Structure 1
Amino acid sequence: MRVAVLRCERLPSFVTWEIDDVEALFDDDRRLIEALRERGVDAEPVAWSAHGVDWRGFDGAVLRSTWDYVDRPAEFVEVLTRVDRSTCTLLNPLDAVGWNLDKRYLDDLEHLGVPVVPVVRGTPADARRLLAAVDLAGWSELVVKPAVGVGGSGVERTDAAGLAAVLRGRPPGAEVMVQPFANAILDEGELSFVIVGGSLSHALRKRPAAGDFRAHGIYGGTVERADAAADDVAQIASMLARLPFDLLYARFDVVRLDGRLAVLELELVEPMLYLDREPGSAGRLADATIARLERA
């Protein structure tokens, strides 16, 4: 069995600051490759955008650190479509990936009965409607996000009075999402539940750095393993059961609203899984990969 672990060719363009240890960002990839090799699988890292790759030479391609797709989303989808049309099995599957690339999936989650943080969407050209919707909802503290993005790129925090200025600073036709800011991020933190092979592998608590609101390590946020309460695990299991995909992995990023978990983001394409935080998790991911390829 031969497996390509897909990564980025370079860091995405929004990362304009120096990172002391860039390779540390790819620790999940390294751990998965090692676990696959321990199980007799010929696994290797492959940049998704590399030219001349014969995907028929691989049994499977596991999407992992493909973060620079945000700079070339159309090319990314084109490459994944070629993988899917070959004899190589793409994990996660193409239909799940295509659905997850645009944050309109949050609307679908809500229709499926999955609790989500409320959202209104539109373009800066439609600012009047967005402002009216926020006013009607009664939101005072806000977060504005691009409809397509990774790693907190293009995310801004503002208040209702400042929303118009934020919208004016964006391209008129670029779709944005406006959500109420969840204060729980600053105390309890954002919770991430990592699903591997259809079951909960581990849970994480992410907190932003002082003076920031983005619970992401590249902005100085902290990530620690969390002991998930039984009721929280049951809520996540219910969310997972409503998804219409057979997923190798998923990461539910949630925040507590009115005592219940609500989805901020559902990551199916290139999330950090923090395999270093949970002993045995890389092995579980390798076993789930092998099982899906054998089934295919």
Structure 2
Amino acid sequence: MGSLLDWLAHFPPLLWGLEHVEEIVIRALQHGKVPQHVAFVMDGNRRWAREHRVETIEGHSLGFEALKNLLRVCLKMGVKEVSAFAFSIENFKRSKHEVDTLMDIAKNSLTQITAHGDMVDQYGIRIRIVGDLARLKPDVYETVVNVVESTKNNTRATLNVCFPYTSRHEISNSVQSIVHLAEDEKIVPEDIDEALFEKNLLLNDSLPLDWLIRTSGVERLSDFLMWQVHEDSQISFIDNYWPDFSIWRFFPMLIRFQLESQQDA
């Protein structure tokens, strides 16, 4: 069903009808449990490009479009927070050409999504860039600072762009922050507990993670949100590569999420 609707979506005469179907489906799904924090491991852009015999950059560019579409639908349904694993610190081991390309795509994508009248304005999105920002190129870092600053007062929804990120870095960063507090005598050993540790995480004020989705058929978390995943989080692994993960594949998964949530309740 998802493949058929994806195919039909390329035909303008049917686009109007699909948009109305989308609205109907969203309204129906709003009667069930809507996850408040959804995370995506956007895997498979390079493999998608190889299978379609196109440049890797096209796979990454289509991956950004897939994220925009899913983000739009999530916000329409009432999801309050979306976290996207955009770039792992481990990706710096790739070729310089690919790393530079990914950095440029990230820079252009952030600029595009925050353009006046685009999604950020429409849905009141606060954007956070979460990760080891010291590794970014100066021009990319400047864009990141501008995006975060320009959206910091938006309160309707949050998009966490994890870039460049690993959970190991986030956890070790929290430990280092606590060590510095102790060295500066701002805390005593008795103050160190789970709450203090979470307070010093990069994602310290995030909502509990309800649902994590990973594409491409790989069944592992790859050092993403390891602390945030908890016993009530649902995790879904699907075979589709990220550029092929459309809203029409997302909707059936959300129905299953709602059914499983009812069973757990």
**TM-score, normalising length from structure 1?**
0.27
| Higher-RCO chain (CA-CA 8 Å, sequence separation at least 6) | 2
Greater fraction of residues in helix: 2
